[in-house]
């Protein structure tokens, strides 16, 4: 994993001055230690499509993508990432809640076992790709939103129970609707842009920030910069090969020019990046300010939010 810190999605957008769509999936093995459900607690009722219609208690690891739930204030903390529950109250998404499952994944037998360092990196990748598809535009995500995962206990891993659930949590706040992007509410151009920008956002978001031991981990961070540079060039390729309306196309052309400059900066970090250079990139002193403006102008032309 390129970075070990626990970023907040919107904080990353701010730190990079809206330069791109940034995903920051914070993952950690969630160790369930308390079961709050007893035999008298009713399970949730669902309609024929699987949507929850009546609140009820279910095991955290059995949640489905799109399930909203109330943790009762027990979301994992930034320091421990431990969820002190095995069951949670699942509710219709228009009812108050503080968390939402966005992926339920059956992992292959070759996946690393839970609660091991290799599994943390593996889960990070699995949840990140699912998160990008669930919320196409992270700029629309609530401030402070984090993403976590929980997996079947190690004792069940060998017997074939390898389900992992990725979920968003918003500690100290209340949600009253689903976080899932309504694909039907987006125009063709909006979807094309968001899908083009998403992978690059994840790659750049994985670069180091803050007080990490950059020098000791520099080779890994150089590799991360190389991946970010490649993702930037892929975004350029997709943007240039997509047909745009005249008004949007003008702004896309300006954005592509700034992305080329950004790719050059990332190439430099990949080849010869030193700890100081990564620090400057992370805190914004080496930031390409016109890129911020170009992204905002594209979003404005597309009718997407320009506030974060």
> Which of 305 and 308 is assigned the larger pLDDT?
305
Between 9 and 94, the more confident residue is: 94
* Pair of tokens at residue 15: 């730190």
Q: In the chain, where are the structural domains located?
A: 9-169, 186-302
- What pLDDT, in 10s, does the model give residues 128-171? 888 888 998 888 888 888 888 887 766 677 777 888 899 999 98
**Mean pLDDT for the stretch of residues 261-273:** 84
Predicted pLDDT at 2: 64
Average pLDDT, the chain: 79
């Amino acid at each position: 994993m390129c970075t070990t810190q626990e970023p907040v999605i919107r904080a990353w957008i701010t730190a990079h001055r809206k330069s791109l769509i940034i995903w920051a999936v914070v993952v950690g093995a969630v160790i369930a230690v308390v079961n709050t459900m007893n035999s008298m607690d009713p399970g949730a009722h669902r309609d024929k499509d699987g949507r929850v219609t009546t609140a009820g208690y279910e095991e955290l690891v059995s949640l489905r993508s799109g399930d909203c739930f109330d943790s009762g204030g027990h979301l994992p903390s930034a320091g421990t990432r431990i969820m002190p529950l095995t069951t949670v109250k699942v509710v219709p998404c228009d009812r108050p809640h503080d968390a939402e499952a966005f992926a339920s994944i059956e992992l292959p037998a070759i996946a690393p076992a839970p609660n091991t360092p290799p599994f943390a990196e593996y889960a990070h990748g699995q949840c990140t790709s699912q998160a990008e598809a669930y919320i196409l535009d992270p700029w629309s995500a609530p401030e402070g939103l984090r993403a976590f995962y929980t997996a079947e206990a190690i004792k069940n891993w060998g017997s074939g129970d390898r389900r992992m659930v990725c979920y968003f949590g918003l500690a100290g706040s209340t949600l009253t609707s689903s976080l899932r992007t309504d694909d039907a509410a987006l125009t063709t151009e909006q979807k094309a842009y968001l899908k083009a920008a998403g992978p690059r956002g994840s790659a750049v978001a994985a670069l180091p920030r803050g007080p990490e031991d950059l020098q000791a981990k520099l080779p890994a961070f150089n590799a991360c910069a190389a991946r970010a540079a490649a993702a930037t060039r892929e975004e350029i390729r997709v943007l240039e090969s997509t047909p745009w309306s005249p008004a949007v196309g003008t702004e896309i052309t300006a954005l592509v020019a700034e992305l080329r400059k950004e790719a050059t900066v990332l190439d430099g970090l990949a080849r010869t990046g030193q700890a100081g250079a990564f620090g400057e990139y992370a805190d914004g002193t080496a930031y390409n300010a016109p890129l911020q403006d170009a992204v905002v102008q594209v979003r404005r032309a597309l009718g997407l939010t320009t506030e974060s």
